[in-house]
Structure 1
Amino acid sequence: MKKGYSLLLLLIVFAAAAQEKNAGNKILVEKIKSNQYFPLVKAKALEVMKTGFNAGDGYREVWIRDYNTFIELAAQVYPKEVLKENLLVFFRMQGDDGNIIDGFTPAEKIGAVNYDFSYSKLEPRYAGHKNTVETDQETSLVQAVYKYIQLTGDKTILSEKVGDKTVSERLKWAMEFLMKYRFNGKYGLLIGATTADWGDVQPEHGWGVDLDSNTHPAIDIYDNAMFVVALNNLMSMDPAAKQQWNKVKNNVASNCRKYLWDKQQQKFIPHIYLKGSPFPAGFDENRIYYFGGTAVAIEAGLLNREEVKASLNEMIKRVKQAGAASIGLTLYPPYPKGYFVNKIMNPVYSYQNGGDWTWFGARMIQQLIKYGFATEAYEQLQPMVKRVKDNNGFYEWYSVDNKPRGSGTFRGEAGVLYTAIVMLESLK
């Protein structure tokens, strides 16, 4: 075959493929425009957001891990001054070591909740609390401030003085807290308590939200992926921070791949244990697939496009095996009954032990769109938006048979769904 003829054939093939892709895009765009659930979900999300900033009906507190996921929605209904003020409360209540609280609630309304509350002279209106088993409060605040600036264009928040430090200095201080108190030198990764993927309940006892003598310290992908995202955001907000943080970020990202990514199984291992596992000997924890941590790892750029598609395929497969409704599934298979003392994690497929959380599932949808899997994103989003209509609102999580559970008017779900829909509607 002549060279010129071969080139012509290649051009014809490429042209046909491009034409087919364009036709597919047009079909998808039409589906998005005519989707019966999208307008309803967006309207309900805006309605819910107008009623406050607490996480949901079951929570009085404003939590930073939640606020980070609905600040984009909040920006649609509140002036930037309100968004900014909520962020500044977290800085006013920052610990003496640089740590960031989980959430705050009016000091006069703490009631009988069994939190070890903290207080700050800089913010006497509120009581703060921190679930110390987590390692995502500091990173969530950095990400929320970054989103605030992207949404409003208001970079003046960085120079805002809180006590004796600017917000910019306090952001770096929060990252330094992680490096000083939550960093393991052997693996070059952040540590936390053993939890189920992104969860905030350790298995060892009762409530399970505080580090103590029973804790089994461990390394997981969620905490470290959140750190990578936060450092990228920090350096974007303040290019001068690259000198201090770029090498750290690159090393953490590299170590996530080196120690947590199981290349053969194309999945992240659940944990690296530093002082033994809390689970029975012989338990093969690596059978468990962590959905939420994987989604955040994709956001952090830790997987390539081929691995993103492989991850989606694995999620879909395991959702079918579980009999669940969506890729919001926390993990699969769930930890066996009795592996967590806290009863909310038992029986299996309950709460963070195999519950179905749109709060993380829709974040995976957002990443699929960013990585060019818009058709797949649209398909996987459908059960999530449908149950908003079916249940007339947003719920914290759903059972394996798709029944609403936990807090109602869950703003984290409303926020991530709203953003995912807007991203799809922006496709052309």
Structure 2
Amino acid sequence: MNKNIALAALITFALPGICLAQGIENPSKEQKQIQPEVMNKVKTMAEELIKKGFTAGDGYGEVWIRDLNTFIKLSCKVNDKSLIRKHLITFFQFQQADGGILDGYIPASKATIYGKFYKSELAPEYLGHKNTVETDQETSLIQAVAKYIHSTGDKSILTDKVAGLTVKKQMERALDFLLKERFNEKYGLLWGATTVDWGDVQPEHSWGVVIDENTHRSIDIYDNAMFLIAINDFITIGDLNASEVSKWKAVYKSIRQNINKYLWDDKAQKYIPHIYLNGSPFPPSFDESKIYYHGGTAVAIEAGLLTKKQVKEAYQKMQKNVADAHAATIGLTIYPVYPLGTFENKGMGPYSYQNGGDWTWFGGRMVTQLVRYSLLTEAKEALAPMLARVVKNNGFYEWYTPDNKPMGSSSFRGEAGVLWTAITELEKKK
């Protein structure tokens, strides 16, 4: 997310090999079992945190769509739906002329002088912002609206008007933006700046969140899997006519086919990190093809791109990476990591932040997918250490070092949201 990277990611690890906190490494069979009271405690903690607001966490004045998308289900359970609806509508009030969606917005009184801010006459009390290196803002908003509708039954949001158009039409404009502004004809897939998996820090700049003349454009699994999910959500909740359904089903089919054709490495049984459109920013001596992207793989599974057998194999690979990296959970962003000095941003050293930091924000999503595919033993095994550290630290932290040290926000709502969802889905299987 890159909001607190300068503060939260100062500790870097040039090499793995750090021992884990006692009780996490090589857990016994008993330790892998999750006690009901632990699940209930974490669920309650998550519910209490989400009641307190919609920002990403402490230290963040902004409401971010990629974060809100991951805790909106829980928010719909504990917060007034009219307030949730208002926050969703605000994103559409900041929608750009080309259909693009911003990352988030902040009360104008709390905005810092850093970065570029956008104004909207429809929401004058806020200022908006966008990390242009990413290609998941539009898809996150579509998914969030769908989750809101599924959770509340309130489809009337689709007929609300923003800038003279219905929310449904604005959603379609957001999807069309991706096809017009972020679509590569050669590969038939969406592109973004080169970042680490789902991250928003490019290597060519000391901060790294804005596309510029130094950007290396590329295609990855995360952005395109998010697009598939969003298209499916739009078809499901959008009350589309036959022509609209036909259009988006054709786009969905094409994106899915091209993901399988260009991004899936059948021999290695993994997604390749990037397809480069104007060269790689990384040195030729570094073999990027060896890197396994945990987050993008989890989202690809959510998009239905892998079989149950492949899901189980992906989980096993993630756990092997955790063991090899001496990390704590499958939230480990990637393995192996990008070498020291690869990123100009000093917070992106090996095993820091998005470069091999351990993020429950994505690890928890993988747990939910394991439950979805009835891989319950694996789901419990993966979830146990995530819950244990929440209880131990008495909070939901943004990310963790390989030795399980909590970093960043101590009230990270994205972690709370995905853990609550994973626990809730696991409880349904009883």
Say whether 1:331 aligns with 2:312. no
1:47-92 Cα deviation digits (max 9, x unpaired): 1112111101121100000000000111121121111011000001
| Corresponding residue of 2:27 | none
User: Offset of 1:374 from its aligned partner?
Assistant: 1.4
| Corresponding residue of 2:132 | 132
Say whether 1:49 aligns with 2:50. yes
| Corresponding residue of 2:73 | 72
| Corresponding residue of 1:315 | 318
Residue 218 of structure 2 aligns to a residue whose secondary structure is: strand
User: Offset of 1:301 from its aligned partner?
Assistant: 0.8
1:61 partner letter: E
Identity of aligned residues (%): 58
If the length of structure 1 is used for normalisation, what is the TM-score?
0.91
If the length of structure 2 is used for normalisation, what is the TM-score?
0.91
User: Offset of 1:43 from its aligned partner?
Assistant: 1.0
Q: How does 1:42-191 map to 2 (within 5 A)?
A: 42-112=43-113, 114-191=114-191
Q: Counterparts of 1:199 and 1:161 in 2: how far apart (Å)?
A: 32
1:136 partner letter: D
Say whether 1:426 aligns with 2:428. yes
Which segment is superposed worse, 49-58 or 391-400? Answer: 49-58
Residue 105 of structure 2 aligns to a residue whose secondary structure is: strand
Q: Counterparts of 2:125 and 2:384 in 1: how far apart (Å)?
A: 42
Say whether 1:365 aligns with 2:367. yes
1:277 partner letter: S
1:140-174 Cα deviation digits (max 9, x unpaired): 00000000000000000001011111000000000
1:226 partner letter: M
1:222-273 Cα deviation digits (max 9, x unpaired): 0000000000000001242312211111110111110000010010000000
Q: How does 1:199-218 map to 2 (within 5 A)?
A: 199-218=199-218
1:75 partner letter: C
Residue 253 of structure 2 aligns to a residue whose secondary structure is: helix
| Corresponding residue of 2:266 | 263
1:52 partner letter: G
1:318 partner letter: N
Q: Counterparts of 2:37 and 2:109 in 1: how far apart (Å)?
A: 44
Q: Counterparts of 1:293 and 1:405 in 2: how far apart (Å)?
A: 22
Q: Counterparts of 2:314 and 2:195 in 1: how far apart (Å)?
A: 21
Which segment is superposed worse, 143-152 or 71-80? Answer: 71-80
Q: Counterparts of 1:304 and 1:334 in 2: how far apart (Å)?
A: 27
| Corresponding residue of 2:24 | none
Which segment is superposed worse, 331-340 or 73-82? Answer: 73-82
Q: Counterparts of 1:204 and 1:64 in 2: how far apart (Å)?
A: 25
Q: Counterparts of 1:400 and 1:242 in 2: how far apart (Å)?
A: 45
Task: Return the structure number with greater relative CO, CA threshold 8 A, min gap 6.
Answer: 2
Q: Please identify the structure whose Cα radius of gyration is greater.
A: 1
1:84 partner letter: R
Residue 128 of structure 1 aligns to a residue whose secondary structure is: strand
| Corresponding residue of 1:356 | 358
| Corresponding residue of 1:288 | 291
User: Offset of 1:35 from its aligned partner?
Assistant: 2.7
Residue 104 of structure 1 aligns to a residue whose secondary structure is: strand
- Residue segments in structure 2 that go unaligned for 5+ positions in a row: 1-29
**Consecutive aligned runs of 4 or more in structure 1 exceeding 6 Å deviation:** none
1:77-111 Cα deviation digits (max 9, x unpaired): 11211110110000011011100000000012103
Q: Is the 8 A contact 1:58 1:408 kept in 2?
A: no
| Corresponding residue of 1:8 | none
Q: Is the 8 A contact 1:397 1:406 kept in 2?
A: yes
Q: Counterparts of 2:317 and 2:101 in 1: how far apart (Å)?
A: 35
- Residue segments in structure 1 that go unaligned for 5+ positions in a row: 1-27
Residue 349 of structure 1 aligns to a residue whose secondary structure is: coil
User: Offset of 1:406 from its aligned partner?
Assistant: 0.9
| Corresponding residue of 1:391 | 393
